[in-house]
Amino acid sequence: MKDEWLHGRNPVLEALRASRRPVREICIVSGSRSAKIDEIRAIAREHRVRIEDVDGRWMAQRRPERDDQEVIARVAPYPYASLGELLAPSPEPPLVVALDQVQDPHNLGAVVRSALAFGARGLVIHKDRSAAVTPAAVKASAGMTERLPIARVTNLARALDQARDAGIWLRGLEAGSHTCIWEEDLTLPTLLVVGGEDSGLRRLTAERMDSLLGIPLEPGCPSLNASTAAAVALAEVARQRSRRT
């Protein structure tokens, strides 16, 4: 697989901090100064990563549209985790998030940020018809993809079965469900499944759930998008677990 270019201070800085994949080289617009740029330079020197100061016009030709960041980095392809790593036994009840054909890389990035913020162990995504961890997703996550283990599976149904066999409860988010998420015990080992932007959970996915959970909304309010629903649900998991400690 080919190397990728990460764009922006946060993605580049998190790639250096996490050291989950090699950073080959970094290009910074000459004269750029900020605390994050200074830290990027310091960590890059420590790890002997080549830094090249470049002209702003050169950088403008290599940035995505409307991206005004002044730093990019060439990195190795994203190192996906194994499913077994996410399902391994642990002293604390595991919390894992799975996405069922979420196709927008910005939604993927937003879910990654929420998963990390609320204590999820990792994320499971589908290999086909789903967003992958691309530079766009890394940017949307503010670089948090470099911290959160993400497994990419060819068969989500089989992965869900493995999670159940590992003693993890399967909870799916479904708009309009009569089971309110506030009433579910989410302190147990939990795998939270979020459906795609337009169609929600696929039938084979929904059939495997131990429960389908709805988020109560005001009458007439449209359903939440995938990343927002995931954030609300993850916050509820964190709330319940904090009350038990």
User: What pLDDT was estimated at residue 245?
Assistant: 62
Domain 4-75, CATH homologous superfamily name and number: Ribosomal protein L30/S12 (3.30.1330.30)
Map 185-240 to HEC letters. CCCCCEEEEEEECCCECCHHHHHCCCEEEECCCCCCCCCCCHHHHHHHHHHHHHHH
- Token output for 113: 């940020």
- Phi/psi of residue 73, nearest 5 degrees: -140, 140
Task: Quote the pTM value.
Answer: 0.93
Q: Where in the chain is the domain with CATH 3.40.1280.10?
A: 83-244
User: What pLDDT was estimated at residue 63?
Assistant: 65
- Phi/psi of residue 231, nearest 5 degrees: -65, -45
User: What pLDDT was estimated at residue 199?
Assistant: 81
User: What pLDDT was estimated at residue 103?
Assistant: 95
Q: Where in the chain is the domain with CATH 3.30.1330.30?
A: 4-75
| pLDDT tens digits for range 38-57 | 999 999 999 999 999 999 88
Quote the mean pLDDT of the chain. 94
d(CA 187, CA 111): 20
User: What pLDDT was estimated at residue 67?
Assistant: 61
User: What pLDDT was estimated at residue 62?
Assistant: 73
H helix intervals, 55-202: 56-60, 83-87, 105-117, 135-140, 156-165
Which parts of the chain sit beneath pLDDT 70?
Answer: 63-68, 245
CATH topology of domain 83-244: Alpha/beta knot (3.40.1280)
d(CA 2, CA 72): 16
